[in-house]
A = this chain, B = another copy of it.
C-alpha cells in the first residue's frame, strides 16, 4: 500500500529528515510512504509552485491512502494545504487517516486566538462568526471525513513535548493502515 504523507511539517527546516523518518516507519510495517515534493523542487525556479502542485497531485493519484497531519497550524485549525489533500483523497475514495498532536478541542483552541463570547445561546468570535462547538478536534467536515473514509482522528492523551517531531500518533495511523485487508 502506498500512503501519501501530508502535513505542515513540509514547512520545517528539517522537513526532509522528518519525511525520511515517516517513510522508514511505513517500511517497518511493509508500506510505502510518499512525501510531498515541496522541499525537493527549487522554490526560486520559474513555475515552481505549479510543478509542486502537479507533482503532489500525481503522487496522490498514485497513492492508495493518505495520512494527514492535522495538528493546528497558524491558528486554531489544521493547515489548509493538508486539509485540501485530505479532501482530494476522500473524493478519490482512497483510505483517509489523520492525526493531530494537539488533543484539545477546536472550541478550546479558538479562545487562544480570538475573544469568544456567548451570543443568543451560541459561541461567537470577535468578528461575530460562530465557533463550531461539537466538542470535536476541528471542523466537523474533516473529523467526520476520517470516520467515514478511514478511522477516527488519532490524538495523544497529552500534547507531546515536541509537537512537530513526535511521530507516535503518526505511527498509530500506519499501524491501522497495515491492518487493513
> A residues within 8 Å of B by Cβ?
8, 11-13, 43, 48-50, 52-54, 56-57, 73-81, 83-92, 110, 113-114, 119-120, 122, 124-125, 127-134, 136, 138-145, 147-148, 164
Contacts and interface: CB of A to CB of B under 8 A. Distances in A.
A129 B127 CA distance: 27
Contact of A77 (B49, B80, B128, B130): B80
B87 A11 contact: no
B141 A56 contact: yes
A35 to B, nearest CB: 15
Tell me how many chains of this kind the complex includes: 2
Output the residue of A84, A122, A133, A164 with the most chain B CB within 10 A.
Answer: A84
Contacts of A122: 43
B11 A49 contact: no
B129 A50 contact: no
B12 A128 contact: yes
Nearest to A76: B74
Contact of A81 (B75, B90, B141, B147): B141
B136 A49 contact: yes
Contact of A91 (B12, B54, B91): B91
Given A77-B80, A80-B80, 11 more contacts: A8-B129, A13-B119, A53-B140, A54-B148, A74-B75, A77-B79, A83-B84, A84-B86, A84-B142, A86-B87, A87-B88
